[in-house]
Structure 1
Amino acid sequence: MRTTINMSPIYNLLRRHAKTFLTAFACILIAVACILGLVYSAFQSVVLDSVALQHRDFVGQLDSISGILSATVRNYGMQVFYAPSVLTLRGDKTLDKMGQVYALRELDSYVSSNDFVDSIQVYNRDTGFIYSTDSNVISAPIDKYADQDAAELFRSLTPDLRMRPIRRTAFSDDPVRVRSYFSFLFFETTSEDEPTGGALMLNVDYDRYLNTLLSFNGQGDCMLLDETGALLTAGREELQPLIPLFFGEISREGQADSGYILKRINGEQTVCLYCRLDTSRWHYLKITPLKACVPKLLELKNALIVCIVIGFALLAICSLGVLLFLYFPVYQVRAALRNIGMENRGELAGQVSQLAQQSEAHRKASALQSLLEGQDLSLLPELPPPYTLVLMETGHAQSALKQTCTDVSALTYHQDGCEVVLFFGEERETVLAICRERADQSSIYCFCGSERTTFPQVAACYQVLCEMRRQKFWAADRHCWLEEDFTPRRPHSSFTEQMSAELASALRGSDLEQIQRLWQQIQDSIREDRFQDQLFAFQRIVSLMEKQLPALKPLVSDNFWATLKDIRTLDAIFSDAFRKIVQNNRELHRQHIDQLASQVVRQIEQSYADSDLSPTRIADSLGMSSAYLGRIFRESTQTSISQYLNQTRIRRAEELLRETEQPVETVAGLVGFSNPKYFYVVFKNITGQTPLQFRKAVHSASEKN
């Protein structure tokens, strides 16, 4: 039987224009929402730029204080460095006990004459002895000195440590004696920028130094970081975990020295106002919620959101009204379908059921994604515990998981190159068996979390699994990772500026074995750090190598770190770069010494007849020590300057003895020997015969010819 559906003119009119009306209304509403969003975004940027500018002006005052404070310490340090007592302590090799007492007593008077220096230490490089005004430390040889942190700084004097604040902790393993300082090193250097003579260290109390810099901030929402991002001081401890979230962008190459960064943290818009101090290159950060920074701006945003929501609500009401108005003819259509044959009915019902199941699975996957991203937890349906979260990473993970999700109770969705699976109501052993089976059969990387009983615990587990996934390059051959075997990451980076300085020094020294040893030590040190801290250490080393050899730049691509799968790949790249840097430095060193040797040879060839010409005189004319020049010349020519000078003079003397009949004493004077007897000795040592024997042998050979 054929069913006829009668449509009235009202229904026809509604069908003809309802879709057009709703579409136009929706487009206008979306356009208005986009325009309002753009206007608000631009207005927000203008407001925050203004706030950042005021913050920069405020930090300018802090920078002036920092500059004045640093200049005060440096000026005071230079006065003390050249004081008679310090000159005695760092230069006198034969200073007796009484002399030490008088010198230290005078040094104590310098400490007591100001209110910012806590103690003074003097290092005598010739005797290896450290003198201190600190009552907790006894003056002693450097190897037995109680404050080994200070001793290590004296051992590793480099130009970049000179007269700048160095953050350090003395007696860190002794809770009674532990002290934190900003230490300033004063020492002299040679023309090659090598430290010479003794050194002086001024120790300024850590808290007093920083409290002076933060005295302008009364709200306690500011922090001070050094050049590497390490925390120097913070107004409130709860702000410290936020530092890594912002410092990566602040320290990025090409980033401005001042400005602001806006991020959503724990569901709340947070603004970070940052500025770099010109004097110390430290970073001054002010982290505060956006609603506290610009409260009126958020009120405007909420008003705009309310207007947009009202508009979309009207659109939804209109759409619902149209659907209800059109329901009756749809009902007639459904009645007509009932009269179609039963065989087609079953197939249609199956397709509808399949679409419904797919829609439900998509809804649950979206709810799981919202849970793991820290959004609305109420979207996820009631699921029986326990919960076990798993990440599976492979290009074929989706096909591998289809069979998994039909065998057990699980929710899954695809994100960022891997499948995220939440098993519920299943024993942990069952989940582990699935992970191991998939890892063995399909070579997937499987990251399996521990059992959880609540959804917030699952969200926390997701962060741990993501960190495991980012750090899988440490053990690329391992395909099944368990949360309980993953060591908790350190809250602070183990990579220090000292490690960076040692590696930079080894690169300049061209010692490949030491470079490889330091690189391995850095790897061992940061292995338990967070990925963000490890990435900072790797990028710091890359910048050091590119600075040493600009031809390497760029050493790695921009997306290298996101695709790094094996630490051995990074080892190979770094090892090759280390070899190139060492080879380049050695070639530059060889060119340098050959150039100096050529200058010495040229001067000898031109001035050998001058009896006053000597290695010392040649070194003075080149502006360097005779010992250093002699070592460079021997390295280039395999002979000493004196030997080469004598050989040049004797070679010229042989020509004069062969070509002229001048007396031997005259020949000696012409080639630069003021003492004829010494000329005889040198001539015989080089030629094996006396000048007369040489002339006689030449004449005999000439007569025979």
Structure 2
Amino acid sequence: MRTGKTTVFQRASLRRAAVILLIIAVFLSMFLLFIQMSQESLIQSLTQLNNEFVEQVDTISGTLLEIIHNAAMQMFYSRSLAKLRTLDSVSNAERIAGMRDLGSWVSSSTFLSSALIYNAHTDTMYTSGGAHVPNAGQTYADHSTYDLMVSRARHGFTGPVKRESAEGEIYSFLFFEPNVPNSGALLLNVRAPWFENQLLGLSSGHNSVVLNSQGEVLAANEGLLSGAVQVWPELSTRLEDGEAHGIILDPRGNSGWMYAQLRNSGLIYLRSFDTSELLPGLARVRNFALGLLLAVSSVLVIGALYTVLVLYPPVQAVREALHKLGSSHGDMAVVMDRLVESRMEQQLADEVARLLQGEELGLLEYPASLILLNCSDPKSVRSALAKITPLPAIVAAAPIGCAALISRASEQQVLDLCLALSDVLSCRCLYGTPKESAAELSRCHASLQELWQMRFLYAGQAVLSEKLAASFSQPVELADKDVSALLSALRSGSLDEARAAWKEIFEQIRTAKFTDFRFFLRSILQDLGAMQSELGLDPFTETSQVLEGLEDAAQLHRLLDGIFQQIVDRQQERRRSSLELLAAKVDDRIAAGYGDVSLSAHGIADEMGMNPVYLSRLYKEATGVSIVDAIKKVRIDRAKQLLRATDASVKDIAEQVGFANDKYFFVVFKELCGTTPKEYRGSCQQ
């Protein structure tokens, strides 16, 4: 009887606990929804403020750069300075006048530290200093300034470039005429304090930082430098994704940065803010909601502990007693074992991931070597390792499959292990040399991940060494002329030239990092897609997935070769149609004017507004004969008709079909017909 009462009591307690937990869960959901709404309101308010901030920054920064640009243009095109910049030979009077004017411009300016003019014809530097003596370019004392002036082709900018000079810190702005060879250049050196104060003065009263496109700090209010450096990785990622302005909040949402990339200079302007100061009302509401959420969470945790510690043990005891009476206990044990094993695997994978991020956890002995395998079953790897080597090993799941850490192994032993594992498990294996710390293992892991992404370059190689990744460490630049050569070959319909151009491009970019390789490839595919669209073809659209799962570079070559073939076929088809249309126009003109003695290939080309040689070449490509031969054929065909149908003399017929000389008519007729006009007429009358 006591047992029955206890069971009923336990069931009632469970029901009450379930109702309480349900109510708490409902309140918790409501509070979470309220917090989300307040967070959205915060984001909307900050977005509006950021839009105003962007407009303000763009307007005032444009004014700042316009001041410098206007001054530069006035100097650049002034008569005396233009002579210094462009003349092959500068007279002494012209030199003195120009350098005097250059010094006057600088001395009368409130922001210029100095100005320099470079004459490319004479390789001469003219400065705004007191002495009116030019400087030979290559012997100019300030080599960095000279390099900047003469290497303008590498710089698609007019500034600013922050530099150290004898005058102190300066910002240099380079001006030149990009489409005029040997036009010289003008370099304005702006005082750094003036320029930075102007930049930071864009938003007076706010904490501001100005960066260039490489993340270098150009100007910053006191105490903000470290914060700008910390936020740069996320900021650069957003800029690469095309987000030219926005907001970066800290994880708690208490503070953050507004940023805007200036349209006219590429500079990035940051303003730090504190949410509680910027939007105090929203911050108080959010803090209240968080406090309430903390209280409700505490109640929920207490209820859960009560359920686990007080209510659950008797229920579990009843379940175990029931399983003892039934037959399903073994199955439940198996399931529980699997759950425990899965949990342990996950914990091990998490610890190995932390180790490969550089965190020392005391998991293994050094030296240790890292092996990555594209095998998804850690147990299979452990079993294979146990049969191959007695060396200590830790194996855990990893993003590409499995990661194995081998202690006290030499580089040769690790290579032998990889060869054996690859053979036993039928997988690809990447390995690193022995390392002495978690930090070194972290760098090795990054190199092997890069190597894995570029594995398609090593098709057929089951084992890859970390040393191969060294070829991806140097930056690679793809010249515009190489891509232009590929596109030009395709436009001209030359498949072999296009294949050769692609081969040259591939050899250049195959040593690039994966992200750079993917960028180059996507850029080329986009250009090819645009060309396909121009030709009325369906463009290749899967540019972002081309390298996903790519195991062999031959697949990439086949893909591009197919696109090349498609474009070339369409180009040739269009060229044939164009040539046929052109040939038809020439034939019509010949048919209409063959009787005119003055009809010639040159005259037809003039009427069509084309070069005679070029027109003749295109006509012969389309028909297989020259325009001259086509005129002869039409005239002789008409002469044959007249010889058959009329009694006109050969001389008259020659004149009617456009031959001024009947002797030449005889020569051409016999050349094309194999007989004389009289013999032909006689054969027709028989």
TM-score with structure 2 setting the length? 0.68
Distance 2:525 2:608 in 1: 37
SS at structure 2 position matched to 1:563: coil
1:522-547 residue CA offsets vs partner (Å, 9 max, x unmatched): 22222222111100111111112222
Partner of residue 14, structure 1: 13
Distance 1:641 1:275 in 2: 61
The offset of 1:661, in angstroms, is 5.0
Structure 2 residue runs of 5 or longer lacking an equivalent are 106-114, 126-135, 139-146, 160-171, 201-207, 220-227
1:391 is aligned to 2:372? yes
The offset of 1:556, in angstroms, is 3.9
Partner of residue 312, structure 1: 297
The offset of 1:241, in angstroms, is 7.0
Distance 2:538 2:94 in 1: 53
Partner of residue 534, structure 1: 517
SS at structure 2 position matched to 1:510: coil
- Spell out the pairing of 1:65-144 with structure 2 (5 A cutoff): none
- 8 Å CA contact retained: 2:261, 2:269: no
Q: Which stretch of the first structure deviates more once superposed, 410-419 or 585-594?
A: 410-419
- Spell out the pairing of 1:424-503 with structure 2 (5 A cutoff): 432-487=415-470, 489-490=472-473, 492-503=475-486
The offset of 1:393, in angstroms, is 0.8
Distance 2:437 2:397 in 1: 22
Number of residue pairs the alignment of both structures matches: 608
In structure 2, which of residues 648, 652, 666 is the aligned counterpart of residue 684 of structure 1? 666
Judging changes above 3 Å, is the alpha-carbon distance between structure 1 residues 57 and 32 closer, same or farther for their aligned structure 2 residues?
A: same
Distance 1:639 1:109 in 2: 67
Partner of residue 192, structure 1: none
Q: Which amino acid aligns with 1:393?
A: N
Distance 1:426 1:455 in 2: 16
- 8 Å CA contact retained: 2:428, 2:463: yes
Q: Which stretch of the first structure deviates more once superposed, 433-442 or 568-577?
A: 433-442
SS at structure 1 position matched to 2:547: helix
Distance 1:78 1:634 in 2: 53
- 8 Å CA contact retained: 2:422, 2:428: yes
- 8 Å CA contact retained: 2:377, 2:402: no
The offset of 1:289, in angstroms, is 8.0
Judging changes above 3 Å, is the alpha-carbon distance between structure 1 residues 425 and 232 closer, same or farther for their aligned structure 2 residues?
A: closer
Q: Which amino acid aligns with 1:245?
A: T
- 8 Å CA contact retained: 1:444, 1:479: yes
Percent identity, please.
18
1:365 is aligned to 2:346? no
Partner of residue 400, structure 1: 381
Partner of residue 128, structure 2: none
Distance 1:419 1:389 in 2: 11
Q: Which amino acid aligns with 1:363?
A: Q
- 8 Å CA contact retained: 1:405, 1:411: no
Q: Which amino acid aligns with 1:502?
A: A
Judging changes above 3 Å, is the alpha-carbon distance between structure 1 residues 63 and 522 closer, same or farther for their aligned structure 2 residues?
A: farther
The offset of 1:618, in angstroms, is 2.4
1:228-268 residue CA offsets vs partner (Å, 9 max, x unmatched): xxx69984996987787346533xxxxxx855486999x99
SS at structure 1 position matched to 2:489: helix
Q: Which stretch of the first structure deviates more once superposed, 645-654 or 620-629?
A: 645-654
1:419 is aligned to 2:419? no
The offset of 1:669, in angstroms, is 5.0
Judging changes above 3 Å, is the alpha-carbon distance between structure 1 residues 348 and 640 closer, same or farther for their aligned structure 2 residues?
A: closer
Partner of residue 496, structure 2: 513
Judging changes above 3 Å, is the alpha-carbon distance between structure 1 residues 305 and 555 closer, same or farther for their aligned structure 2 residues?
A: same
Distance 1:487 1:415 in 2: 22
Distance 1:268 1:500 in 2: 48
1:615 is aligned to 2:601? yes
1:569 is aligned to 2:521? no
Distance 2:531 2:56 in 1: 36
Q: Which amino acid aligns with 1:543?
A: Q
Distance 1:385 1:616 in 2: 86
1:36 is aligned to 2:35? yes
The offset of 1:507, in angstroms, is 2.3
- 8 Å CA contact retained: 1:487, 1:528: no
Distance 2:95 2:631 in 1: 51
Judging changes above 3 Å, is the alpha-carbon distance between structure 1 residues 467 and 508 closer, same or farther for their aligned structure 2 residues?
A: same
1:429-455 residue CA offsets vs partner (Å, 9 max, x unmatched): 665554332112222122233444444
Considering only aligned residues, what root-mean-square deviation do their CA atoms show, in Å? 5.9
Q: Which stretch of the first structure deviates more once superposed, 107-116 or 359-368?
A: 107-116
- Spell out the pairing of 1:86-235 with structure 2 (5 A cutoff): 184-186=177-179, 200=181, 202=183, 204=185, 217-218=199-200, 221-224=210-213, 235=218
In structure 1, which of residues 632, 647, 669 is the aligned counterpart of residue 618 of structure 2? 632
Distance 2:385 2:274 in 1: 46
Q: Which amino acid aligns with 1:468?
A: L
Partner of residue 54, structure 2: 55
Q: Which amino acid aligns with 1:14?
A: S
Partner of residue 599, structure 1: 585
- 8 Å CA contact retained: 2:10, 2:311: yes
SS at structure 2 position matched to 1:414: strand
Distance 1:11 1:587 in 2: 86
1:245 is aligned to 2:237? yes
- 8 Å CA contact retained: 2:377, 2:397: no
- Spell out the pairing of 1:549-568 with structure 2 (5 A cutoff): 549-550=532-533, 551-554=537-540, 556=542, 558-568=544-554
SS at structure 2 position matched to 1:390: strand
- 8 Å CA contact retained: 2:117, 2:186: yes
Distance 2:196 2:563 in 1: 42
Structure 1 residue runs of 5 or longer lacking an equivalent are 90-98, 122-130, 139-146, 154-160, 169-178, 187-198, 225-230, 251-256
Partner of residue 634, structure 2: 648
1:642-677 residue CA offsets vs partner (Å, 9 max, x unmatched): 34334434443454455445566655554445xx4x
The offset of 1:467, in angstroms, is 1.5
Judging changes above 3 Å, is the alpha-carbon distance between structure 1 residues 672 and 484 closer, same or farther for their aligned structure 2 residues?
A: closer
SS at structure 2 position matched to 1:688: helix
Judging changes above 3 Å, is the alpha-carbon distance between structure 1 residues 302 and 442 closer, same or farther for their aligned structure 2 residues?
A: farther
Distance 2:432 2:249 in 1: 28
Q: Which amino acid aligns with 1:465?
A: L
Partner of residue 225, structure 2: none
Distance 1:536 1:384 in 2: 40
1:548 is aligned to 2:531? yes
SS at structure 2 position matched to 1:609: coil
Distance 2:247 2:446 in 1: 23
- 8 Å CA contact retained: 2:377, 2:401: no
1:365-424 residue CA offsets vs partner (Å, 9 max, x unmatched): 3344456568xx69x576555554432213556533455489765555435451234456
Q: Which amino acid aligns with 2:297?
A: F
Q: Which amino acid aligns with 2:15?
A: R
Q: Which stretch of the first structure deviates more once superposed, 534-543 or 425-434?
A: 425-434
Q: Which stretch of the first structure deviates more once superposed, 318-327 or 540-549?
A: 318-327
Distance 1:58 1:402 in 2: 63
- Spell out the pairing of 1:666-685 with structure 2 (5 A cutoff): 667=653, 669-672=655-658, 676=660, 679-685=661-667
Judging changes above 3 Å, is the alpha-carbon distance between structure 1 residues 292 and 668 closer, same or farther for their aligned structure 2 residues?
A: farther
Distance 2:368 2:576 in 1: 66
The offset of 1:603, in angstroms, is 1.5
